[in-house]
Amino acid sequence: VKQPPRPRECVMTRPSTKGLWMGLVSPHIPEEELKNAVRAFMKNQAAAYPICKLQVLCTHYSKAHIFLEEEMPLSVVKQLNRVPLRVGGASTSVCFDDFYGSPFQKCPKTIAGFCRGQNLRFTQPCWCKHEPRKTEHAMYSLKPLPLDGAKGDEIVSKFMASAHHFYTGLPRVTAIRAIQNHVLQQCHNDYREYLRNKHGEEPVCQELYHGTNNNILDVLYTHGLQPPSDMEPSDACPVSGRKGLCTSLCTNSCKHCTRKHEWNRCHMYGLGIYLADMAAKSNRYVSQPNDGKLRMVVCSVLGKSYQVEGYLKGGSCMHDVVDVRAVTDEDMDEMIETCQPCRAPRASLGAMIVGSDGEKWGRVVSDEDSCWRLSSGRVAKKCNEGMRWFWSAESEISAEAIETAPEKSDLLFIKGLGDRCRPGSSVINSECIAFHPHQCLPMYEIEYTLD
């Protein structure tokens, strides 16, 4: 049995908290047994502070996140550290600490150079001391690619595959630029190594589109795609103000951006980075064009996905989700009305086509008389059906790229429901949502107009 290390010291300094971190415990103890032990411990030692949510996570060791209905004073937290936890037929010493961290404490929740709570003030903030981000002095350059070159033609073909679904006009690509940032590339590589250690295998990698406010692309190309904060941008803020943003770019230390960002038919599935395999989908998020020219980003995206297939039980119920790993199966049951998996379309828009050698060609995004236009940019000539290609019932993403539990996942994959979509509670076309800036490396910028 793998024994946990000696408990760390509780360093809480804030007067009270509504969230506790508890650890570490042997990973061999079953999750439900550990949950029952924690509930019994809290009932015996702190009955005045009922648990409203309990989450157990296990990597090399097990730990628990305990969220309370009432603020627990510092003195009570200190007292919990003096009592052993009874679990697995034995008593073991564990540490109880403030889940939200304490000023001057070195952040223990940083993952691959980033702490998700650093730009959160109201949902799941982190008040620890954070190191300067690795990209603080990074610089980027944009290298033009010829549209008629091999890579340029590949990017344009895939981008134009969903051209007829751009709801504001027909797109025309005017330029493609490779985004070069060596520091950000290394951060992406470090995140890849983190996932390799986490899953024990080479991480899944996808190329996806990202559409956003074009006024902040320089920030994205310097520091990476940023998961949104839970704060409104203040007009007085020199960093986030007057850019047409709905969430602040700042950390929770900003003196200007102090109002909570409220749901306004936005961030439907959480405060994350929204990505798609169809350019037409990401175009809906592009705003603040310059001289009528819009810019979209092609990204390298790492990680396994937790698939959501169903309907939101309320328009805003997932708005405050800040990380897929902070969500439990119970949370998903409360937020999502699951639907029966639909049969894959057999010969129409949305259907999957595979080659005669089993290679996945892509989903059908438009019917062009003599051929099917695919999401990958390829075309499948109708006259070659049954010879060079076949219809398939395969999922959009492979089984190897799917995780069955949200807290073990790296991305949210929101399954598009096509004609089963209910406006406001589901989406027609699928999308992915990431929550770490180094998970998504901006690779190419596509500049286009809409005619």
Pair 213, 245: CB distance under 8 Å:
yes
The pLDDT, as a whole number, for residue 400 is 62
Pair 445, 179: CB distance under 8 Å:
yes
Q: Which of 216, 228, 209 is nearest to 282 (CA)?
A: 209
The pLDDT, as a whole number, for residue 397 is 66
The pLDDT, as a whole number, for residue 357 is 87
Cα–Cα distance for residue pair 51/178, rounded to 1 Å? 50
The pLDDT, as a whole number, for residue 278 is 92
Q: Distances in Å between the alpha carbon of 366 and those of 303, 347, 352, 369, 426?
A: 29, 12, 12, 9, 22
The pLDDT, as a whole number, for residue 50 is 97
By CB atoms closer than 10 A (0-12, 13-18, 19+), residue 184 is buried
Mean pLDDT of the chain, nearest integer: 92
Torsion sign across C-alpha atoms 299, 303, 306, 312: negative
The pLDDT, as a whole number, for residue 360 is 85
Among 16-30, 292-306, 355-369, 425-439, the least confident range: 355-369
Convert the pLDDT of each residue in 64-82 to its tens digit: 999 999 999 999 999 999 9
The pLDDT, as a whole number, for residue 346 is 59
Among 73-87, 178-192, 364-378, the least confident range: 364-378
Gyration radius of the chain over CA positions:
24
Cα-based angle 322, 252, 262 (whole degrees, multiple of 5): 55
Mean pLDDT for 278-301 is: 95
Percent of the chain at pLDDT > 90 equals 75
The pLDDT, as a whole number, for residue 311 is 95
Cα–Cα distance for residue pair 73/405, rounded to 1 Å? 33
pLDDT for residue 345 is more than 60? no
- For residue 24, say if its preceding peptide bond is cis, omega within 30 degrees of 0: yes
Confidence of residue 340 (pLDDT cuts 50, 70, 90): low
Percent of the chain at pLDDT > 70 equals 96
pLDDT for residue 380 is more than 70? yes
Q: Residue 113 is encoded by which pair of tokens?
A: 């150079």
Q: Residue 357 is encoded by which pair of tokens?
A: 């050698």
Q: Which of 16, 59, 64 is nearest to 39 (CA)?
A: 64
Cα–Cα distance for residue pair 22/315, rounded to 1 Å? 33
Confidence of residue 53 (pLDDT cuts 50, 70, 90): very high
Beta strand 141-145 with 171-180 is antiparallel
Q: Which of 22, 25, 79 is nearest to 47 (CA)?
A: 79
Cα–Cα distance for residue pair 228/243, rounded to 1 Å? 14
Side chain identity, residue 205 = C
The pLDDT, as a whole number, for residue 198 is 86
The pLDDT, as a whole number, for residue 60 is 82
Pair 377, 158: CB distance under 8 Å:
yes
Cα–Cα distance for residue pair 66/52, rounded to 1 Å? 8
Pair 374, 362: CB distance under 8 Å:
yes
The pLDDT, as a whole number, for residue 359 is 86
Convert the pLDDT of each residue in 122-175 to its tens digit: 999 999 999 999 999 999 999 999 999 999 999 999 999 888 788 889 999 999
Pair 306, 406: CB distance under 8 Å:
yes
Confidence of residue 358 (pLDDT cuts 50, 70, 90): confident
Convert the pLDDT of each residue in 215-236 to its tens digit: 999 999 999 999 999 999 999 9
Mean pLDDT for 189-216 is: 94
Cα–Cα distance for residue pair 23/18, rounded to 1 Å? 17
The pLDDT, as a whole number, for residue 384 is 92
Convert the pLDDT of each residue in 391-431 to its tens digit: 886 666 665 667 778 888 999 999 988 878 899 999 988 99
pLDDT for residue 58 is more than 60? yes
- Phi and psi of 256, rounded to 5°? -100, -45
Neighbour tally for 354: CB within 10 Å: 16
